[in-house]
Structure 1
Amino acid sequence: MVVSSPRPSKLSLHDVTLVCVDTRTPRQALEAVQKCISQVDFGRVIFFGNEGADSCAMPLDGIDWIGIPALRNIGEYSRFVLHGLLPHIQTSHCLIVQWDGFVVDASMWRDDFLSVDYIGPPWYHKSQAIGVGNGGFSLRSRRLLEALAQLPCDGDDAEDDVICKHLRQQLIERFGIEFAPADMAAQFGIEQGPLRPTFGFHGIEHFARMFSETELEAWLNAAPDELILHKHTRKLVKSLIAEGRRRQAWRLNARRAQKQGWRMDHVKLAIRACLLGG
């Protein structure tokens, strides 16, 4: 008789609420949420989607769908994340994810992630003083949300810039908000640079290593043009070339070119796919 070994239990984070806000590409965002909950048992999972819309016919087991007005641009998204989450968060922290990022290795979780008020993948393109910031895969305390409720956030800047750059000093000095040190952030998540072991990630360019060719092809086939033409999807083409997946890189580059018109950049990427792919 063959006795199968028990499946490892999921990471228990009952004092963390998983949050995703997406009124434009909910199907892809829900897939990211489902990848997270396949590894982690959260205290609550909330998806803020377009009010009046259904859930894209995707299973919502364990996910609370809350309808909100359509968010038409980055400014509206940012204002909602900065000032709209607090009434819904009863746990000590919330983990925010977007369509292009999710938990990849629950074993990389550290309990001291909960000792800070904000942690996201390092921003290597920012100054050292604000090196930790990326909001697309970030852990925030309710304490931070309470502080933000007392500060004006009415502009159109990205919400992670608002928190980690514009309001950083006020949050530290007036409210005692603590941002994660860079070494902790580097273990929490990744956005830029070569892939390394982390709890999660943000950025479509990493899909080349997160998905098999079959999985990624299915994702791309279901993705709306808005995501295919996203400026960061160009990075995915380059990542696919680097991974030796030249046919997939070619197809994605060609789809972008057909919508945008063949430009020199598309031609160069096509040549690279032919010359450098495995």
Structure 2
Amino acid sequence: MSPLLDDSGSVRARKLSLPGVMLCAVASVNILATVAALRRAMTVANFGDCVLFTDSAHEIATPGIRVVTIEPIVSSAAYSQFVLRDLVDHVTLQHCMLVQWDGYPTHPKLWEDAFLECDYIGAPWPQFSDGHNVGNGGFSLRSRNLMEACRAPGMTIGHPEDVMIGRVNRSALEKRGLRFAETTLAARFSCERSGNLHMSFGFHGVFHMVDVLGVHQFLKLYESLDERTSVWRDLTTIIRELRAGGASWTIGPRMWCDRIRAYWPGKNTLMQRRD
């Protein structure tokens, strides 16, 4: 099966027009991969704004991406704090599309205007069956109204940020009139641990990225990563996908060696939320 993106990282369809949506990412690690995700999202749609929030000294030489300097995101909990409490101060449009290096839109033809009728939409969580299963925040669309409500008195600000929104605070947010996507609509917006990559507008999860990028582009991206925790979590699946795509048998031992070195005593890395 051919990758969803061509060799330039562009999607294979006409771009959308989303002037009321701000595309953004928040990162202190994997900056090059995060910029690549923003660039790929920008081939899907023309957004009203595109912002990378970072403390990185990397030169971001990509037209259309504004860089806003923030304090270092030194933990996954710090990421959640910023997204729940501070991000809304920078959002001037009606909606914010949040992406990460391993989750972004890929299928402009599968866009639905119904997505914008929701205050929050992300890939459904298959592990919950109580109706509060929407959803993953790594690639998500949220209204500014919801973002403002998330830091109102009485709301819990904790970690992970998407669980705070989609489960801990959901009932309180709904009482304020905020709307969460139904499971079926959320599955058409994004897939993660459930759903169909080829039937969703976008995705979240590094375990999908060999299919999205192809073997060569995935390995190029892998080499650019300075923080690979999410890769290690699904390493067996990723190696299987790489081998199925034609990668050499040596890729498995090589990546397992990388994992061992990453956890060698004395090695410290910044940790950022990836799930």
Return the TM-score normalized by structure 1. 0.82
The answer on whether the counterparts of 1:98 and 1:137 sit within 8 Å (CA) in structure 2 is yes
Correspondence list, 1:125-144, <5 A: 125-144=127-146
Deviation at 1:196, TM superposition (A): 3.2
Correspondence list, 1:118-197, <5 A: 118-151=120-153, 156-173=158-175, 175-193=176-194, 195-197=197-199
- Deviates most, 101-110 or 152-161: 152-161
Deviations 1:83-104 (A, max 9, x none): 1121211111110011111111
Q: Which amino acid aligns with 2:184?
A: D
Q: Which amino acid aligns with 2:151?
A: A
Which structure has the greater CA radius of gyration?
1
Which residue of 15, 23, 44 corresponds with 1:10?
15
Whole-angstrom CA distance in 1 between matches of 2:179 and 2:157: 23
Considering only aligned residues, what root-mean-square deviation do their CA atoms show, in Å? 2.3
Deviation at 1:36, TM superposition (A): 0.3
Whole-angstrom CA distance in 2 between matches of 1:224 and 1:125: 30
Q: 1:257–1:179: structure 2 CA closer, same or farther, 3 Å change rule?
A: same
Q: Which residue of 1 aligns with 2:43?
A: 38
Are residue 28 (structure 1) and residue 28 (structure 2) matched?
no
Asked which structure has the greater RCO (Cα within 8 Å, sep 6+), the reply is 2
Whole-angstrom CA distance in 1 between matches of 2:170 and 2:158: 17
Which residue of 90, 93, 96 corresponds with 1:94?
96
Whole-angstrom CA distance in 2 between matches of 1:69 and 1:60: 22
Q: Which amino acid aligns with 1:116?
A: C
Deviation at 1:156, TM superposition (A): 4.1
Gaps of 5+ in 1: 1-6, 262-278
Q: 1:120–1:177: structure 2 CA closer, same or farther, 3 Å change rule?
A: same
Whole-angstrom CA distance in 2 between matches of 1:258 and 1:89: 40
Whole-angstrom CA distance in 2 between matches of 1:163 and 1:127: 17
Are residue 70 (structure 1) and residue 72 (structure 2) matched?
yes
1:60 aligns to what SS in structure 2?
Answer: coil
The answer on whether the counterparts of 2:105 and 2:202 sit within 8 Å (CA) in structure 1 is yes
Deviation at 1:239, TM superposition (A): 3.6
Whole-angstrom CA distance in 2 between matches of 1:228 and 1:179: 27
Query: Identity over aligned residues, as a percent?
Result: 31
Deviations 1:219-251 (A, max 9, x none): 112222544764244542344356564633443
Whole-angstrom CA distance in 2 between matches of 1:15 and 1:189: 20
Are residue 221 (structure 1) and residue 223 (structure 2) matched?
yes
The answer on whether the counterparts of 1:190 and 1:200 sit within 8 Å (CA) in structure 2 is yes
Deviations 1:178-231 (A, max 9, x none): 100011011100101453321110000001201222111211122225447642
The answer on whether the counterparts of 1:227 and 1:233 sit within 8 Å (CA) in structure 2 is no
Are residue 257 (structure 1) and residue 260 (structure 2) matched?
yes
- Deviates most, 222-231 or 126-135: 222-231
Gaps of 5+ in 2: 1-11, 265-275
The answer on whether the counterparts of 1:135 and 1:160 sit within 8 Å (CA) in structure 2 is yes
Return the TM-score normalized by structure 2. 0.83
Q: Which amino acid aligns with 2:25?
A: C
The answer on whether the counterparts of 2:124 and 2:135 sit within 8 Å (CA) in structure 1 is yes
1:94 aligns to what SS in structure 2?
Answer: strand
Q: Which residue of 2 aligns with 1:198?
A: 200
Q: Which amino acid aligns with 2:182?
A: P
